[in-house]
């Protein structure tokens, strides 16, 4: 139980801190991309401004007087060393291509956006379309593009660092969460173990006087009835009460010892067909069902599960005992075994008094009784169903119930197949 709680703590701690880490890494990556793009845009804009500054224009002759001979890249100048410009284009004010360098282009200006990312193979380009103005009027458009190779390489390096660092950090967070979970659960575990030891010790201490009371009462019942019935009747009440106390102490001791755990050594393959066949013939079962009709329904093929045979037997006996207690004479009780593809079902169904819907959520609570008067008559302690539920859950299964008042109840154990 505590290891499960510790795992849950570590899981949610890792999930929450991991989400924050991934969100932070995404924001850093996005901010880094924005910074690198801004650097590329500033460099591209500077190059475009230098080129635009060398455009010659005579306003008296209009657009026909535009001279690009002195413009770097587009003019007569040779390309400087280290040039990274992929293409440069000059468009008229009407959007017609007049002169270009680099890859073939459409004859019409497609966009007037200032900056634009062009996705091409094998590399992406960053393009600027700069309106060139002289004398307060636009004389044309200069379009320049440079590769984003450096920016992409830098981003890939950052991404690689994140891909390596984030999983390692998540692993470290998981270890820290496991450690902190253990530290946080330590006081609770100590308190629980103390309570468990107290329950176990108290149960042991109670068994001795109860056994003494029961022994003395039984010895007294063996003597002849020569002093009248009252004394003998009181001894019978003492013996019956001692038996109930002994059952209660044994149940409390079982709950304290098990606490949802099963010794791995005791887990073995179990043939449920054989287990239920043998159990249905137990004298105790036959005695409980002596005024009832008890049906056993088993599949033809073997059904194997891994578990503790004694504990599973006790869980089924508790369910049958509960069904027999609350089923009137001449009623019926069914014990079924159903083998499905993904689980195994053990069902105990009766035609008894049923359970009100308001009591169903609490039916497996310790010491919970639906009908106090009827429970006193049948001698129930309110622990049988709690023990059955604890056994089933310790085997990784689930115990469920459906019921209708006046029609009966159906208890269903869901176990995992081997």
User: How much is the pLDDT for 368?
Assistant: 72
Domain-located, residue 129: yes
b/e per residue 50-64 (b: at least 16 CB within 10 A): ebbeebebeeeeeee
The structural domain count of the chain equals: 2
Q: Could you read off the pLDDT of 66-104 as tens digits, one per residue? A: 888 888 888 776 655 456 788 888 888 888 888 888 876
Minimum mean pLDDT among 47-56, 197-206, 274-283, 303-312: which range? 197-206
CATH number (domain holding residue 59): 3.30.450
Confidence of residue 50 (pLDDT cuts 50, 70, 90): confident
Q: What percentage of the chain carries pLDDT values higher than 70?
A: 75
Domain-located, residue 194: no
Q: What is the DSSP string of 63-107?
A: GGG-B-TTSTTTSSSPPPTT----EEEEE-TTSBEEEEESS---S
Domain-located, residue 55: yes
Q: Same structural domain for residues 277 and 133?
A: no
CATH number (domain holding residue 335): 3.30.565.10
* Structure-token pair, residue 141: 């458009």
Q: Same structural domain for residues 27 and 150?
A: yes
- Phi and psi at 404, nearest 5°, equal -135, 130
Q: What is the DSSP string of 274-343?
A: HHHHHHHT-HHHHHHTTTSEEEEE--SS--EEEE-HHHHHHHHHHHHHHHHHTS-TT-EEEEEEEE-SS-
Q: Same structural domain for residues 270 and 408?
A: yes
Confidence of residue 362 (pLDDT cuts 50, 70, 90): confident
Residue from 183, 162, 179 nearest 18 by CA = 162
Confidence of residue 375 (pLDDT cuts 50, 70, 90): very low
Question: 406 vs 62, which has greater pLDDT?
Answer: 406
Range(s) of the domain holding residue 73: 2-154
Average pLDDT, the chain: 80
DSSP state of 110: -
User: How much is the pLDDT for 349?
Assistant: 94
Residue 230 burial (C-beta neighbours within 10 Å; 0-12, 13-18, 19+): exposed
Domain-located, residue 282: yes
* Structure-token pair, residue 295: 């049906």
User: How much is the pLDDT for 377?
Assistant: 46
Domain-located, residue 319: yes
Instruction: Give mean pLDDT, residues 382-389.
Output: 82
- The answer to whether residue 246 scores a pLDDT higher than 50 is yes
Q: Same structural domain for residues 405 and 287?
A: yes
Confidence of residue 254 (pLDDT cuts 50, 70, 90): low
Q: Same structural domain for residues 139 and 12?
A: yes
Cα separation, 397 vs 389, in Å, equals 9
Domain end residue (candidates: 154, 181, 205): 154
Domain end residue (candidates: 154, 177, 203): 154
Helix (H) or strand (E) holding 370: none
Domain-located, residue 233: no
User: How much is the pLDDT for 415?
Assistant: 92
Q: Could you read off the pLDDT of 151-191 as tens digits, one per residue? A: 888 888 888 888 888 889 888 888 888 888 777 777 777 76
| Residues facing 142 on adjacent strands | 90, 130
Domain-located, residue 223: no
| Cα dihedral sign, 376-379-382-388 | negative
Cα separation, 145 vs 140, in Å, equals 17
pTM tops 0.75, yes or no: no
Domain-located, residue 184: no
Who's near 314: CB < 8 A, 6+ residues apart?
A: 387, 388, 391
- The answer to whether residue 223 scores a pLDDT higher than 90 is no
DSSP state of 231: H
User: How much is the pLDDT for 376?
Assistant: 45
Q: Is the peptide bond before 122 cis (omega within 30 degrees of 0)?
A: yes
| Residues facing 307 on adjacent strands | 268
Cα separation, 317 vs 319, in Å, equals 5
Who's near 307: CB < 8 A, 6+ residues apart?
A: 262, 267, 268, 270, 395, 415
Domain end residue (candidates: 132, 154, 176): 154
**Count of Cβ atoms closer than 10 Å to residue 78 Cβ:** 8
Q: Could you read off the pLDDT of 281-333 as tens digits, one per residue? A: 888 888 888 889 999 999 988 999 998 888 898 889 889 988 998 898 889 99
């Amino acid at each position: 139980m505590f290891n499960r709680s510790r795992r849950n703590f570590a899981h949610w701690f890792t999930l929450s801190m991991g989400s924050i880490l991934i969100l932070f890494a995404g924001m850093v990556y996005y901010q880094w991309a924005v910074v690198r793009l801004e650097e590329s845009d500033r460099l591209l804009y500077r190059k475009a401004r230098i080129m635009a500054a060398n455009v010659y224009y005579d306003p008296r002759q209009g657009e026909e007087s535009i001279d690009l001979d002195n413009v770097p890249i587009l003019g007569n100048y040779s390309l400087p060393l280290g040039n990274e410009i992929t293409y440069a284009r000059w468009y008229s004010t009407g959007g017609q291509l007049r002169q270009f360098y680099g890859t073939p282009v459409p004859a019409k200006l497609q966009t007037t956006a200032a900056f634009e990312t062009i996705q091409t193979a094998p590399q992406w380009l960053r393009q600027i379309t700069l309106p060139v103005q002289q004398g307060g009027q636009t004389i044309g458009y200069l379009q320049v593009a440079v590769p984003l190779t450096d920016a992409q390489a830098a981003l890939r390096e950052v991404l690689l660092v994140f891909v390596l660092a984030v999983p390692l950090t998540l692993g470290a967070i998981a270890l820290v969460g496991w450690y902190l979970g253990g530290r946080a659960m330590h006081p609770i575990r100590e308190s629980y173990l103390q309570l468990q030891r107290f329950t176990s010790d108290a149960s042991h201490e109670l068994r001795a006087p109860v056994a003494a009371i029961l022994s003395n009462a039984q010895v007294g019942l063996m003597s002849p009835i020569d002093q009248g019935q009252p004394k003998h009747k009181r001894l019978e009440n003492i013996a019956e009460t001692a038996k109930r106390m002994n059952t209660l102490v044994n149940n409390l001791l079982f709950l304290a010892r098990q606490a949802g755990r099963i010794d791995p050594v005791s887990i073995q393959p179990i043939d449920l067909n054989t287990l239920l066949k043998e159990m249905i013939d137990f004298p105790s079962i036959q005695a409980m069902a002596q005024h009832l009709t008890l049906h056993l329904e088993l599949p033809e093929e073997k059904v194997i599960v891994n578990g503790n045979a004694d504990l599973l037997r006790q869980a089924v006996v508790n369910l049958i005992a509960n069904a027999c207690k609350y089923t009137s004479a001449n009623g019926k009780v069914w014990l079924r075994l159903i083998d499905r593809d993904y689980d195994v079902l053990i069902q105990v169904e009766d035609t008894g008094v049923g359970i009100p819907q308001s009591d169903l959520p609490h039916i497996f609570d310790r010491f919970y009784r639906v009908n106090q008067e009827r429970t006193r008559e049948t001698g129930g302690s309110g622990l049988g169903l709690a023990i059955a539920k604890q056994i089933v859950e310790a085997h990784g299964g689930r115990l469920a119930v459906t019921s209708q008042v006046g029609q009966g109840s159906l208890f269903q154990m869901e176990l995992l197949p081997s």
